[in-house]
Structure 1
Amino acid sequence: MNKREFLKLSTAFGVSMMAPNLMAKQSISLYGAPALPSVTMAIAALQGKSSKTHDITFKTWKNPDQLRAGVANGLINATMAPLNVGINLLNQGFDFKLLNILAFGVLCVMSKDESIKNIADLKGKKIILPFKNDMPDIIFRAIIKKLELNESEYELTYVQSPPEVLGLFLQKEYDAAIMLEPLASVCELRAKKIGLSVKRAFWIHDEYARAFNKPAIIPQAGIIIQSKFYEQNKEFFDTYESDLKAALNFISSNPQSAAEIGSNYLPTPSKALVNSFKISKLAVTRASELGDEIFDFINMIYEFNPKLIGGKIPPKSYLL
């Protein structure tokens, strides 16, 4: 082999070794909450067009404190989060923006008492709920305040996680529990199994509408993204937004298949997920298209307690 042939062969070999790297997908990590819209995110990550160009890792965090820690150490750049958490992060100096809203109504009150039909009926009752000063608690107490009810007449017990709410509600003498879907559907199944009479007393978004004279939707949670990360991956997120809409259609058309996928990401039996899909208000709506609804909700939180969103209403540029 002469020198020229050797150089040609060496060049060809070098290109072939580089080719896998040239064809490698870009990696991107997305995070969801331990709640129903994470199924939409997971299906979009698995089945969407964005998965053809990116190697997507999707995980769920366990509680808001874990989410905040992940943001603080730079591990989490794009995640579903309750609306108040995203604004708090912004006001703490983390440059996040809101991409969309993924849920309009997934929060309800489960009851052992047939007489409970609205929030006023819970006066004097023992109520268990998760996450003091986070979204379920904020909405519930803001409605009480707006309806000019006396919060001191509500016996509220807080625990550190939604599963704790479920376990203690079924085991102990609580009259009602505030639960997110799909946990409320799990509650129905477990109660039936042990012979306990439990019902979905009312949806929180209906009480929100009645109290504030607004449509019966709560822009409760959506995807927040670190601004620089969004700019670096804008094409991906535009595609992923379309994938989320396709995933929502898939859930509607194929609830059983969607539930089987979802049970890999949420500790929830597929039967409960199927029921949850039917009764919950899942959504995929760009944040900028919901400006009025989102800022009405933010103002509601601010008027209830400014500290719960870091003391400042975000600028309109917060919405992507």
Structure 2
Amino acid sequence: MSGSRERTPLLSRRSFVASLPLAVAGLRSRAWAAEPLTIWGPPATPSVIAAQAIASGALASISPSVSFKTWKSPDEMRAGLSSGTMTAVIVPTYAAANLYNRGLAVRLVNVLTDGLLYVVAPGGTVARVADLKGRRVAVPFRNDMPDYIFRRMLADASLTADDMTIDYSGTPIEAVQMLLAGRVDAALLSEPAASVAIVRASLSLKTFERAIDCQTALAVSTGRPVIPQAGLAVTDVFVRRYGEPAIAAVQSAFEQAVQAVTRDPSAAASATAAMLELPRPMIERSIPFSKLVARAASAARSDLVALFDVLARQDPRIIGGRQPDDRFYAI
């Protein structure tokens, strides 16, 4: 009996020591779960998916405090990812590849649109890329995704930027204003800016239209009728805070969200307008033209590779010099 009493403390101490890693892991997990999560995105329709996921509460299992913030320019987005202040960000897919190939711990979770880029022009004035020859065109974000895609479209139509006048703008809304004021003949616009231009023109008794679907135009190069233009990227800081399973949880929440958004654009616009700081009617109008999806990055890989190949033909530095490897595709 006495021997048994002497062994019990030893066994207890051993059990206690053995259980320490699990206890610490549990505490760490709870600490991560308590970390507020901010998802960043552009003032564009793919961000509706993130905002819908937040509004529905589908991300509560990752963090009890989830919010959405808008990045205003590609430079702000890149700076946020590079500094670590942004850990979950909706980005142009090529930008995620570029940062990854340059050594930043950024991985792509999904693709959120199969393309939402259009050339908008007064009705009946433009029908194909070749019709832009000799025209004046507003293009937002010089040396960024819209510009890269536009230049590829021109090349496929045996044109160059020298065959027209390109007026670059700092934002899509600036391009809309240039078009409405008659300072340009056409504008390259993503959604919801394309919808904004068309609606505002109608208020002045003008008829604007989505004259060129850039997804169809770029298919000459990619062989695919889609442009996997934007998706959610996460950093290693995100994984450290919330755990690797959080990536799958976010993807599941986004899959539910995109179904809700496409099923009822009006309700989605009402639920997300305040978060996105965009007019509710513009969000609702843009959703049907935004080709929204929530496709896991690995499932979209062949489309992404095709797009990255096209961009790299212009300049390999656009994607960081090479196709990203397997680890880039987070799920």
Same fold (TM over 0.5): yes
Partners in 2 of 1:68 and 1:213 — Cα distance? 26
Q: Tell me what 2:224 maps to.
A: 215
Partners in 2 of 1:213 and 1:297 — Cα distance? 6
Unaligned runs of 5+ in 1: 1-20
Q: Is the 8 A contact 2:42 2:71 kept in 1?
A: yes
Mark the CA change 1:98 to 1:127 in structure 2 (over 3 Å): closer, same or farther: same
Partner secondary structure for residue 274 of structure 2:
coil
Q: Is the 8 A contact 2:113 2:294 kept in 1?
A: yes
Partner secondary structure for residue 188 of structure 2:
strand
Partners in 2 of 1:174 and 1:28 — Cα distance? 41
How far apart are 1:65 and its partner, in Å?
Answer: 0.6
Q: Is the 8 A contact 2:120 2:188 kept in 1?
A: yes
Q: Which moved more, 1:103-112 or 1:258-267?
A: 258-267
Q: Is the 8 A contact 2:191 2:289 kept in 1?
A: no
**Code of the aligned partner of 2:42:** A
Matched, 1:247 2:257: yes
- Indicate which of 31, 41, 45 corresponds to 1:36: 45
Matched, 1:64 2:74: yes
How far apart are 1:180 and its partner, in Å?
Answer: 0.7
Partners in 2 of 1:273 and 1:109 — Cα distance? 19
Q: Is the 8 A contact 1:48 1:240 kept in 2?
A: no
How far apart are 1:310 and its partner, in Å?
Answer: 2.7
Q: Is the 8 A contact 1:34 1:63 kept in 2?
A: no
How far apart are 1:252 and its partner, in Å?
Answer: 2.0
Q: Is the 8 A contact 2:116 2:291 kept in 1?
A: yes
Partners in 2 of 1:206 and 1:302 — Cα distance? 20
How far apart are 1:230 and its partner, in Å?
Answer: 2.8
Matched, 1:139 2:145: no
How far apart are 1:267 and its partner, in Å?
Answer: 4.0
How far apart are 1:256 and its partner, in Å?
Answer: 1.0
Partners in 2 of 1:197 and 1:228 — Cα distance? 48
**Code of the aligned partner of 2:288:** K
Q: Which moved more, 1:235-244 or 1:117-126?
A: 235-244
Q: Tell me what 1:96 maps to.
A: 106
- Indicate which of 43, 47, 55 corresponds to 1:46: 55
Q: Is the 8 A contact 2:49 2:258 kept in 1?
A: yes
**Code of the aligned partner of 1:29:** T
Partner secondary structure for residue 237 of structure 1:
helix
How far apart are 1:261 and its partner, in Å?
Answer: 2.2
How far apart are 1:37 and its partner, in Å?
Answer: 0.7
Mark the CA change 1:262 to 1:57 in structure 2 (over 3 Å): closer, same or farther: closer
Q: Tell me what 2:198 maps to.
A: 188
Aligned structure 1 segments of 4 or more residues deviating by more than 6 angstroms: none
Partners in 2 of 1:298 and 1:304 — Cα distance? 10
**Code of the aligned partner of 2:244:** K
Unaligned runs of 5+ in 2: 1-29
Matched, 1:157 2:167: yes
Q: Tell me what 1:17 maps to.
A: none
**Code of the aligned partner of 2:310:** M
Partners in 2 of 1:311 and 1:237 — Cα distance? 27
TM-score w.r.t. length of structure 2: 0.85
For each residue in 1:261-310, what CA deviation from the matched residue of structure 2 results, as whole angstroms up to 9, or x when unmatched?
Answer: 23213343222222211222011000101221111110110011112223
- Indicate which of 85, 96, 102 corresponds to 1:86: 96
How far apart are 1:50 and its partner, in Å?
Answer: 2.1
TM-score w.r.t. length of structure 1: 0.87
Partners in 1 of 2:287 and 2:327 — Cα distance? 32
Q: Is the 8 A contact 2:41 2:89 kept in 1?
A: yes
Partners in 2 of 1:127 and 1:116 — Cα distance? 11
Partners in 2 of 1:230 and 1:118 — Cα distance? 45
**Code of the aligned partner of 2:248:** D
Q: Is the 8 A contact 1:50 1:236 kept in 2?
A: no
CA RMSD of aligned residues (A): 2.0
Matched, 1:109 2:119: yes
Partners in 2 of 1:262 and 1:49 — Cα distance? 14
Q: Tell me what 1:148 maps to.
A: 158
How far apart are 1:149 and its partner, in Å?
Answer: 2.4
Q: Tell me what 2:8 maps to.
A: none
Q: Is the 8 A contact 1:113 1:175 kept in 2?
A: no
For each residue in 1:31-58, what CA deviation from the matched residue of structure 2 results, as whole angstroms up to 9, or x when unmatched?
Answer: 1122101011011122143225512121
Q: Is the 8 A contact 1:302 1:311 kept in 2?
A: yes
- Percent identity (aligned): 30
- Indicate which of 177, 200, 211 corresponds to 1:167: 177
Matched, 1:297 2:307: yes
Partners in 1 of 2:115 and 2:59 — Cα distance? 27
